[in-house]
Amino acid sequence: MTLAMGFLGIAFIVLTFAFIAWEQRSRLIQRDVDDIRNNAFFLADHAARLLEVTDVTLRQTAALMEDESWYTVSPSRSLWEQIRAVKQALPFIEDIWLNDAQGKLRLTTAAFPTPESSALDRDAFQAQMDTDQGLFVGEPIIGRVTNAPTFMVSRRLQYPNGTFRGVVSVTVSLTYLNDYWARLRLPRGTRVSLIRASDGKIIAQHPMELGNISFAPIDKDAFDRAISENFEAGLYTAVSDGRERLGAYHRIGQLPLHVRVSIPADSYWRPWIDQIRIYGSFALFALIALLALMAVAAHQFQEQAATAALLEREVALRTSELRTETAALEVLNRTGRALAAELEFGKIAQHVIDAGVELTGAQIGAFFYHVDEHAQTSDSARPAPMPYAISGELQAKFADIAMVQHTSVFAPTLVEGEIVRSDDITTDPRFGPAERRRDVPDWHPLLRSYLAVPVVSRTGAIEGALLFGHEKLGVFTARAERLVIGLAGQAAITLENSNLYKAAQHEIEERKQAQAQQSLLIRELHHRVKNTLATVQAVVGATARSTSSIEDFYAAFVGRIISLANTHSLLTEAIWQTASLREILEKELSPYNDDTGERIIIDGPPVELPSEAAVPIGMAIHELTTNAAKYGALSIAAGHVIVRWESAIEPGGLRLKLTWSEEGGPSVEPPKRQGFGSRLLHRVLATQLNAAVQMDFEPSGLKVSIDVLLRPGGFVNPSA
């Protein structure tokens, strides 16, 4: 009976204090609800008054510059002092801003003269461009001029005809709002937010980090549901940062803005516990002591048993993990030593894939490297097999693994560099169950577990991939993935070292070839110098025979030597290979052209003359030009010279047909004696180049035709 009464008494005490505790909890919750409702109303009213004053400030600023143009606004110090006086009277306003229709900052209280800035990308500016939004509150920003956290409140400026003129705006200090809200007596854990209803954007929040516009997010879906039921004010619960919060909101005037005051849903807990401790400390002392003693005894017994079992399991687990890690370390060390001494790709791949199979416990492993997706076999449209290494107990069954290397299972790793680990590849939503039917023959084992890690070089290039499979489900763990990632990194470094070694060998070979080329060029230079000296000797003799005085000899000889030097300059620029026919003609004839550019006409496809042909042809053109300047079409202002040529590929080389025509000059008669130019054209060109030369001394002007076959290697195909 005593025991029964004791239990009844304990039950009565427990039930009584449970009822009192429940009532206290309900009262505290109601108090919190009333607090956040009242604070939401008060803060919304305060924000409405601030925005009303802001609206008056914007209208007043717009009125001050209504009769001004943007060109008079920017330099106006008096206007700047007026709006600065308006701003200084309002502590919550940081600055006033005037931007034209292109977003350019025209005037601001932040500085004078106006600094360079633009608000074209600010939402407070963008919203006013198409239509008048009235008073619009923009999202929080870091000011470009002030470098301070703030948000813009804007009004549209427009011309009398209603077209967009620009925006007048103010920036409101987030620090001011935070400091003001901090001075209020708010419940512990309270969070105050100024929210834009249209998109749920947080404009300001307390508490906030100084100099930061990153705020704690709100549950936008819960907020949207609440304002859809009652846009003006209401109460709702939401989850933020993984914690349930109770929030009250109130609309700010007639604007699409709300002030939301929220507290943790369990904010009543601490005061409730404090009250329960006070009210029940004496009545529950005995019960708590009894229960505590019983709990302590039971807990100690259970704790001792659990501790012993836990220690035993921990020792076994740690021992097993140590053995596993030791074995893995031995594999990695052995593989590292093997890779350090290896430069051949195939052997590197085999070492790596053997180690990967041993570390992961895979039944099959493959290492694809140097992927070439465009390589094709000669007898099929199927991609050609890539170099690879294969290992594992199913190696024989996957000997033709190249036939499935381009499946969609491999693509994320081989192409995109993605790490893939799947416990069951046949049901993985990333690939789908049809993969087996589409790409793999029926006689192949059905792999379920799959692990793929890319081999990525230091430059970010995908060198290949390590691929592992197993017939059982869930074989590959996160630990196996980490080990394979490390192995792939080791493989990437070794492959890069191999590439560097091959590149170095290639560079050595290229240097040897360059030295051989240099020796060849030196021998060619010796040959060209001898030919040049022979040409000069011939020019001296021919010039001496065709002139009657030292002065004539000097003038003719210098001109021919200059022509020879010009041709050699073109050859030297091309390293004694070719000279452009057009450039030779332009160097000789361009000094005689007029402002209209019509006195000299040069027309023909691109032709590169070999060095053997460039010297005689260049000197022939020089003689024709000199003759035309002295006696022919270039000797009078009305004359002009037309040079045209055509070329065609023939089996023996490039056939060049060049025509020199003079028009508008003095009447022409055949010469009574053959000069140097005629001998050069008929003898030198015919002897050295086997060219056919025809000269027609027509009364209207000299006509010269040259037909020559240029040997291969010294010209470009005009149709190429």
**Higher model confidence: residue 43 or residue 368?**
43
Contacts (Cβ under 8 Å, ≥6 apart) of 77: 112
For 248-254, the CB contacts below 8 A with 24+ separation are 248/33, 248/36, 248/37, 248/39, 248/40, 249/40, 249/195, 249/223, 250/40, 250/41, 250/43, 250/44, 251/44, 251/197, 252/44, 252/47, 252/48, 252/51, 253/48, 253/51, 253/52
Asked whether the beta carbons of 165 and 178 are under 8 A apart, the reply is no
Q: DSSP alpha helices (H): ranges in 574-675?
A: 581-589, 611-630
Question: What confidence category does residue 379 fall into, taking pLDDT thresholds of 50, 70 and 90?
Answer: very low
Q: How many CA atoms lie within 13 A of 324 on its CB side?
A: 12
Query: 709 and 650 in contact (C-beta within 8 Å)?
Result: yes
What pLDDT does 293 receive?
63
Q: What pLDDT, on a 0 to 100 scale, did the predictor assign at position 554?
A: 72
Q: What is residue 718's predicted lDDT score, i.e. its pLDDT?
A: 39
The secondary element (H helix, E strand) that includes residue 648 is strand 640-650
393 contacts 378 by C-beta, under 8 angstroms: no
* pLDDT for 195: 92
DSSP code of residue 386: P
Q: Going by C-beta distance under 8 Å and a sequence separation of 6 or more, which residues neighbour residue 142?
A: 148, 149, 150, 213
Query: Can you tell me the mean pLDDT for 1-28?
Result: 76
DSSP H/E element including 453: strand 449-456
Amino acid at 172: V
Q: How far, CA to CA in Å, does 166 sit from each of 54, 66, 100, 101?
A: 18, 12, 4, 4
pLDDT mean over 349-353: 84
| 370 vs 203, higher pLDDT | 203
Q: What does the pLDDT average to over 471-492?
A: 86
Give the pLDDT score at 398: 66
Asked if residues 612 and 571 have their Cβ atoms less than 8 Å apart, the reply is no
Task: Decide: 255 and 136 in contact? Cβ < 8 Å.
Answer: no
- pLDDT mean over 703-709: 92
Q: How confident is the model at residue 249 (pLDDT cuts 50, 70, 90)?
A: very high
- The residues, any chain, with a CB within 8 Å of residue 592's CB and separated by 6 or more, are 599, 600, 625, 628, 629, 634, 641
Q: How confident is the model at residue 373, as a pLDDT?
A: 42
Question: String of b and e for 18-35 (b: at least 16 CB within 10 Å)?
Answer: eeebeebbeebbeebeeb
Q: How far is CA 176 from CA 15, 123, 136, 426, 602, in A?
A: 50, 22, 20, 60, 79
Q: What are the tokens at 603?
A: 């027309």
User: Given this model, what pLDDT does residue 634 score?
Assistant: 85
Residue 341 or residue 103, greater confidence: 103
DSSP strand pairing (640-650 vs 600-603): parallel
> Tell me, what's the pLDDT at 670?
84
Is residue 473 pLDDT above 70, yes or no?
Answer: yes
Residues 6+ apart with CB under 8 A from 213: 140, 141, 142, 149, 174
Mean local confidence (pLDDT), 44-52: 92
The b-or-e profile of 328-366 (16+ CB within 10 A means b, else e) is: beebbeebbebbeebeebeebbbbbbbbbbbbbebbbbb
**pLDDT at residue 9 in the model:** 75
Average pLDDT for residues 234-240, to the nearest whole number?
A: 87
Confidence of residue 510 (pLDDT cuts 50, 70, 90): confident
Asked whether the beta carbons of 375 and 384 are under 8 A apart, the reply is yes
Q: Say what the pLDDT of residue 382 is.
A: 38
3-class state of residue 259 by DSSP: strand
Separation of alpha carbons 299 and 283, rounded Å: 24
Helix or strand holding residue 187 (H, E)? none
Question: How much is the average pLDDT of 124-146?
Answer: 90
Q: Which of 373, 367, 334, 513 is nearest to 451 (CA)?
A: 367
| Confidence tier at 546 by pLDDT (50, 70, 90) | low
- Residues 480/360, Cβ–Cβ less than 8 Å: yes
Q: How far apart are CA 193 and CA 179, in angstroms?
A: 13
Q: Where are the alpha helices (DSSP H) in 201-344?
A: 220-229, 269-280, 285-340
Distance of CA 696 to the CA centre of its chain: 67
Q: Using CA atoms in the order 442, 444, 446, 452, what is the torsion angle rounded to 10 degrees?
A: -130
Sign, Cα dihedral of 83, 86, 88, 93 = negative
The pairs formed by 542-548 with CB atoms below 8 angstroms and a separation of 24 or more are 542/676, 542/679, 542/680, 543/676, 545/676, 546/675, 546/676, 546/679
Alpha-carbon distance of 624 to 589, in angstroms, equals: 10
Q: Distance from CA of residue 611 to its chain's centroid? A: 49
For 246-267, what is the mean pLDDT? 89
The three state secondary structure string of 196-230 is ECCCCEEEEEECCCCCCCCCCCCCHHHHHHHHHHC
What is the structure's pLDDT at 209? 78
Residue 632: name the closest of 608, 665, 584 by CA: 665
Residue given tokens 């070292």 in the structure block: 497
- Please tell me which residue, 129 or 320, carries the higher pLDDT value: 129
pLDDT-derived band of residue 96, with 50, 70 and 90 as boundaries?
A: very high
**Sole residue written with tokens 């249209």:** 198
Across residues 576-600, what is the average pLDDT?
81
> pLDDT class for 137, splitting at 50, 70, 90?
very high
Cα first-last separation, the chain: 118
220, amino acid identity: K
Q: Is the pLDDT of residue 384 over 70?
A: no
Q: What is the pLDDT of residue 541?
A: 55
CA angle 290, 294, 295 (to 5 degrees): 110
Does residue 396 surpass a pLDDT of 80? no
CA distance 442 to 444: 6
User: Which of 140-149, 373-382, 420-429, 516-525 comes out lowest in average pLDDT?
Assistant: 373-382
> Going by C-beta distance under 8 Å and a sequence separation of 6 or more, which residues neighbour residue 128?
136, 154, 155, 156, 164, 167
What is the residue-averaged pLDDT of the chain? 80
Is the dihedral angle over the CA atoms 510, 516, 518, 524 positive or is it negative?
negative
Residue % of the chain over a pLDDT of 90: 19
DSSP 130-171: HS--SSEEEEEEE-TTT--EEEEEEEEEE-TTS-EEEEEEEE
User: Helix, strand, or coil here: 480?
Assistant: helix
If one compares 346 and 633, the residue with the highest pLDDT of the two is: 633
pTM: 0.40
Specify whether the CB–CB gap between 591 and 694 falls below 8 A: no
State pLDDT tens for residues 98-127.
999 999 999 999 899 999 999 999 999 999
Distances (CA, A) of 627 to 559, 623, 666: 12, 6, 12
**How sure is the predictor about 519, in pLDDT bands with cuts at 50, 70 and 90?**
low
What's the average model confidence in pLDDT over 220-231? Answer: 89
Whose tokens are 């239990």? That residue is: 7
Angle at alpha carbon of residue 615, lines to 613 and 620, rounded to 5°: 95
